Amino acid sequence: MEHLEQFRQEVRDWLEENCPPSMRTPLVPEEEVWGGRNAKYVNPESKLWLERMGEKGWTAPNLPKEYGGGGLDRDQTKVLHQELFRIKARPALNSFGIWMLAPCIIEFGSEEQKREHLPKIIKGEIRWCQGYSEPGSGSDLASLSTKAEDMGDHYLVNGQKVWTSYADKADWIFALVRTGPKEPKHNGISFLLIDMATEGVSTKPITLISGKSPFCETFFDNVKAPKENLVGVENSGWTIAKKLLQHERNFISNFGLAGGGTGSGADVVNIAKKYLGEANGQIANPAQRENITLHKMKEHAFGLTLQRSGDEGAKASAASSMFKYYGTEHNKDRYELMIAAMGNKGLGWTNEGFSDDEQAITKAWLRTKANSIEGGTSEVQLNVISRRVLDLPN
Amino acid sequence: MKLILTEEQQFLKDTAQSFARDKTPVTHFRELRDSDNSQCWDDGVWQEMVELGWSGILVPEKFGGSEFGMAGISVIMQELGKTLTPSPILSTSVLGVSAINMLGSDDQKENYLPKIVAGELTTALAIDEGNHHDPFAIETTAILDGDHWVLNGKKVFVVDGSSADTILIVARTSGKSGESNGISVFVASKKIAGLDVSKISTADSRNYANIEMSDLKLEQNALLGEKDLAGETIEKILDLGRIAISAEMLGNTEEAFEVTINYLKERKQFGVQIGSFQALQHRAAKMFCEIELTKSAVIAAMHAADENSNELERLSSLAKFQAGETLHLVSNEAIQMHGGIGVTDEYDIGFYLKRARVAEQIFGTSEFHQARYADISGF
């Protein structure tokens, strides 16, 4: 404990010296940092902040020091997060590489792959995207058909991915490809890393019901991927894929709860008081007040459950499906309540007649509809809970 | 506040689990229900609990207790809830002990607490007067007449009211119904003129009473603590009661759910286990999520009580709300998923439904706590 308090003081001193002033102000979307070869920094202090945090390894505090991570244990990581939160520091780096890929490289990657990729992920030098879904493979992900043929020193990749977030901005993609076309579907899949700059890779953005989105279609047309970029053993990529989905699920459910990700961060109670008015300090419409209370109580209990899971140090797999299911359904509910509270002000599309904040909530409401689809639908999560947690028969 | 049990609390939970499985499986409750035992719990079983120290978990050490806290008594309640074990632990060891310990003078504590610890005295808290829990809607009056108090009024749905040796009566000494000021608590022995206790018969086959006070005369020292000032403390005592019964309801829920899941794996229709049907699987998975939320709310509330957190009221309401909603859902689904045998008296699952609805009423329904949570939160 004493050692932890000493660590806290060190963190505090370091942040005091190294977190630039503008990085302690609320984040504006155009200053979000994702890193990568082509990163542009509207605010030069974002770049500085990333470099300093990356150098320390604190963009990935719990990854091993030898690969550029922070090398912190669970308690130290918590302290770091608390201290960052205390000074309201902006995230130095948003990264699919850190959230999803790095844990899998640690577990399944070769020593060379760890040395090659992890430091660049942690410093934000290379930006990654995820190539999982295909037009014909949504919930039934294992039916994917993008093929990678063994050509001796490389794989020849042909096919199409969809829902690739930020493919048009990413430097590399981690993709599931079919290497064993004759194997049963789960057994013929491999986990392959592909440089997006390779000839034959192209991307096209997707417009959603909410408007512009980071999603893309990604096409592979006779793309040569060196064999050293296979992670794990050929045809056993499904194991890695499942593990990575757990990391993704945890990430999405935490993000949804924080009101981040596809949210506007607006608080439903404040919105309701503003647009429905107050009566004796209460949300004026009793029926909506009741619905909102119910929502907030579920949110409280769910937040406690995330906390308990952390305190128990529970194994990720069982819990992650529950968190993904509950967190995303809850987030959808929040935006339904929010636009309901706003009445006709909750339905704006452009700035003719609507403020920026109002439009943002409307767009976020539409965007949340995808939360319970992406990263495994709610129905798939319920299947996982039934089979893996409750052990119900197939 | 970490949302896990300490080693000692876990040990206590394990002890309570073995106790409930070995000594008071659901057949024990069935036998009590079918017997003419009007107190609805078994003296021998209660004495064994007393020997384990459960009667004195909230009692300070200097009065013979263990001061093991709300976490301690809650995990016991949770395990007893799994097998529907009836006992006076809620009415006596949670409510009675808390009321006497928080409100009483040293003499009063010395007089009652060691007897409770020793299993020589059981209590009941007489508070509600209407069809719904409403802690300050007190019309029962207590007036000082010379050197004694005179009480008049009616109490309903008093938990363990028909078996308790001593009744703690919440009465109004000033102000009007609905106000938290002007409330006082009195201790009355059951065998006293002017106190009429009549047992009522409820769906859960436990012991509740309606109590009428007609010119009930009590000595001056029957007043627990100070006149007029018990309102705020009563809320705290009720919050502890709410947390304890939420833990019991969590136990009810866990067992009803487990029994149901096992049935889904056994029962075959159309040549397959019915648990293979997605229509049932998804409902089961949703119940699982709600149970996990309930566990978190209950553990947070019991730790908040032990740490004297200023979040106690909100967390107690959250726990009772979430426990009530989840038990309501699971007790209904358990019956439906069992099909025909679920509605027979021969099968135990119906007991959980009957207990559920009564427990939901005790110290405020989910709707009551939803409203309270909204007010405290400033929504």
| B214 in Cβ contact with B194 (< 8 Å) | yes
- Say yes or no: A153 and A177 in one domain: yes
Residue of A nearest to B372 (CA): A293
pLDDT tens, position by position, A215-260:
999 999 999 999 999 999 999 999 999 888 888 777 766 654 443 3
The dihedral over CA atoms of A301, A305, A306, A312, expressed in degrees to the nearest 10, equals 160
- Helices B312-338 and B349-361 sit at what angle, rounded to 10 degrees? 150
Give yes or no: residues A202 and A67 share one domain. no
Q: In 3D, which of B285, B266, B338, B260 has the Cα closest to residue A387?
A: B285
Best residue in B6, B257, B281 to probe A by mutation, most A CBs within 10 Å?
A: B281
The answer to the question of residue A134 being in a domain is yes
Tens of pLDDT, residue by residue over A89-143, are 999 999 999 999 999 999 999 999 999 999 999 999 999 999 999 999 888 889 9
CB atoms near residue B36 (< 10 Å):
5
Give the pLDDT confidence of B231-254 residue by residue, as tens digits: 999 999 999 999 999 999 999 999
Residues A356 and A266 in one domain: yes
Answer yes or no: do A142 and A163 share one domain.
yes
Q: Which whole number is the average pLDDT over A66-90?
A: 93
What CATH number is associated with residue A45? 1.10.540.10
CB nearest to A390's CB, from B3, B284, B293: B284
Q: What share of chain B is helix, strand, coil (3-state, %, to 5)?
A: 55, 15, 30
Q: How confident is the model at residue A315 (pLDDT cuts 50, 70, 90)?
A: low
Strands B166-172 and B123-126: parallel
CA distance B234 to B138: 12
Residues A220, A151 share a domain: yes
Q: Is B268 on the interface with A (CB under 8 A)?
A: no
Structure tokens at B195: 């106190």
Our CA dihedral for A52, A55, A58, A64, rounded to 10 degrees, sits at 180
Is the CB of B3 less than 8 angstroms away from the CB of A296?
no
Report residue B306: phi and psi, to 5°.
-70, -25
Q: Which residues of B touch A326 (CB under 8 A)?
A: 289, 293
Q: What is the ipTM of this complex?
A: 0.95
A316 has pLDDT over 70: no
Q: Minimum mean pLDDT among A317-321, A345-349, B181-185, B220-224: which range? A: A317-321
Domain boundary among A173, A207, A235: A235
Helix (H, G, I), strand (E, B) or coil at B352: helix
Triad B377, B170, B84: Cα angle to 5°: 75
CATH number at residue A294: 1.20.140.10
CB contact under 8 A, B278 and A383: yes
Q: What is the pLDDT of residue A313?
A: 80
Sequence-separated (6 or more) residues with CB below 8 Å from residue A292: A268, A269, A272, A283, A337, A341, B379
Per the structure, the complete domain to which residue A89 belongs is given by 2-94
Beta carbons of A368 and A331 less than 8 angstroms apart: yes
CA pair distance B272, B289, nearest whole angstrom: 26
- Beta carbons of B261 and A304 less than 8 Å apart: no
- Out of A293, A301, A382, the one facing B296 most closely (by C-beta) is A301
Q: Do residues B74 and B247 touch, judged by C-beta distance below 8 A? A: yes
SS3 A381: helix
pLDDT of residue B284: 98
pLDDT tens digit sequence for A169-208: 999 999 999 999 999 989 999 999 999 999 999 999 999 9
How sure is the predictor about A339, in pLDDT bands with cuts at 50, 70 and 90?
A: very high
pLDDT at position A319 over 90: no
Alpha carbons A138 and A136: distance in angstroms, whole number: 6
Of A301, A311, A393, nearest to B322 by CB-CB distance is: A301
pLDDT at residue A262 greater than cutoff 80: no
| Same domain, yes or no: A263 and A292 | yes
pTM of the model: 0.89
Same structural domain, A83 and A29: yes
Nearest to B376 by CA among A80, A136, A300: A300
The Cα A327–Cα A249 span in angstroms is 10
- Enumerate helices (H) and strands (E) in chain A, giving the number of each: 12, 10
Neighbouring C-beta atoms of residue B336, cutoff 10 Å: 12
Give the chain B residue whose CA is nearest to the CA of A284. B379
CA–CA dist A363, A359 (Å, integer): 6
pLDDT at A265 exceeding the cut of 70: no
**pLDDT more than 90, % of chain A:** 84
- Long-range contacts for A140-144 (Cβ within 8 Å, ≥24 apart)? A141/A176, A141/A241, A142/A185, A142/A186, A142/A189, A142/A238, A143/A185, A144/A176, A144/A177, A144/A178, A144/A189
* Domain assignment present for A112: no
Does A163 reside within a domain? yes
Cβ neighbours of residue B334 closer than 8 Å, sequence gap 6 or more? B256, B257, B259, B260, B342, B349, B352, B353
Q: Which of B285, B227, B3, B281 is nearest to B103 (CA)?
A: B227
Of A282, A297, A326, the CB nearest to B289: A326
Specify whether A138 is located in the same domain as A174: yes
The amino acid present at B256, given as its one-letter code, is A
**Contact call for residues A95 and A34 (beta carbons, < 8 A):** yes
User: In this structure, is residue A133 part of a structural domain?
Assistant: yes
Residues A161 and A227 in one domain: yes
Same-domain check for residues A159 and A54: no
Confidence at residue B30, expressed as pLDDT on a 0 to 100 scale: 98
The A residues from 315 to 344 touching B (CB cutoff 8 Å) are 322, 325-326
Q: Which residue ranges in chain B fall short of pLDDT 70? A: none
From chain A, the residues in CB contact with B328 under 8 A are none
Interchain contact, B286 vs A382, CB within 8 Å? yes
Given A79, A94, A109, the domain boundary residue is: A94
Q: Are B208 and B162 in contact (CB under 8 A)?
A: yes
- Residues 202-241 of chain A with CB under 8 A from chain B are none
Q: Which residue of A has its CA nearest to B259?
A: A390
Structural domain contains residue A106: no
The answer to whether the CB of B149 falls within 8 A of the CB of B223 is: yes
- If asked whether residues A226 and A272 sit together in one domain, one would say no
Region A27-44: mean pLDDT is 92
Q: Does residue A113 belong to any structural domain of this protein?
A: no
pLDDT of residue A259: 39
In this complex, the residue of A289, A296, A304 whose CB is nearest that of residue B3 is A304
Count of the separate structural domains present in chain A: 3
Q: Which of A180, A211, A235 is the last residue of a domain?
A: A235
| Reported confidence tier of residue A261, pLDDT bands at 50, 70, 90 | very low
Residues contacting B302, CB < 8 A, separation 6+: B69, B70, B71, B74, B243, B247
pLDDT at B360: 98
For residues B218 and B171, what is the distance between their CA atoms, to the nearest angstrom? 13
In a domain, A197, yes or no: yes
List A residues 253-312 in contact with B (Cβ-Cβ < 8 A): 269, 272, 281-283, 289-290, 292-294, 296-298, 300-302, 304-305, 307-308, 311-312
A82 domain-assigned: yes
Look up the CATH number of the domain holding residue A154: 2.40.110.10
SS3 (DSSP) at A91:
coil
Report the alpha-carbon distance of residue B338 to residue A169 in Å, rounded.
54
Q: Are residues A176 and A300 in the same domain?
A: no
**Mean of pLDDT over chain A:** 92
pLDDT value of position B173: 97
Domains in chain B: ranges and CATH: 7-122 (1.10.540.10), 124-229 (2.40.110.10), 232-377 (1.20.140.10)
pLDDT given for residue B295 in this prediction? 98
pLDDT over threshold 80, residue A317: no
